[in-house]
A and B are shown apart, each in its own frame.
Chain A
């Protein structure tokens, strides 16, 4: 049951160029979306998020776009740096009116930024 899908297992870009990571979801009840970065042997690190009432959120080099009608979000990193090389996870939250904010994760995309 893949409610959150990241169809590209890997992405390779040149330093200084734009990295675009994509994520699709199927559950229309998701109301909050997050991107996490993960290095080997570490836990996921929060990167940026967006509420379902918005279509764009920007934080420095990172911008997340949300297209609710297409159930699609993307993370743009510009300019990309070698230190950005990591696995990027898309995650979605569906509170369902309760006190639970569990996250549903995609499988992740390995981003490699080449110097």
Chain B
């Protein structure tokens, strides 16, 4: 069964360093997302991406964040200068592999990347 894959599973970095989180969405999906979950809190939307551009971004997604789909398979989240409060689980998701609102709404998630900023 197709799945969303994320690498690495755990990333440890020093405050102020740049990190790139990688995702390979399900191959025929058209809509791509990043979410994060700080320990003990709810899953929060960061950004959505469709047709090679950002559809919407949350207040969390400031100038330190960027997303890219450099080729036909990868979808990356870059944090330019990490802060302690960026420590969280980051989930990539994708949807829209078929016609209809149901396919567009049902998002499939990767296992996540745990980012630890020291």
Contact = CB atoms under 8 A, between A and B. Distances in A.
Given A44-B43, A106-B42, A99 B105 contact: no
A42 B110 CA distance: 8
B109 interface: yes
B105 A45 contact: no
Contacts of A108: 42
B111 A101 contact: no
B53 to A, nearest CB: 9
Interface string A32-72: 10101000011111100101000000000000000000000
Nearest to B96: A101
Contact size range, B: 20 to 34
Contact size range, A: 20 to 34
Given A43-B110, A49-B102, A102 B91 contact: no
Contacts of B75: none
Nearest to A6: B42
Interface string B72-106: 00000000000000000001010110000110111
Contacts of B110: 43
Given A43-B111, A100-B55, 8 more contacts: A36-B109, A44-B43, A44-B109, A46-B107, A100-B50, A101-B105, A104-B45, A107-B41
Interface of A: 32, 34, 36, 41-46, 49, 51, 89, 91, 93, 95, 98-108
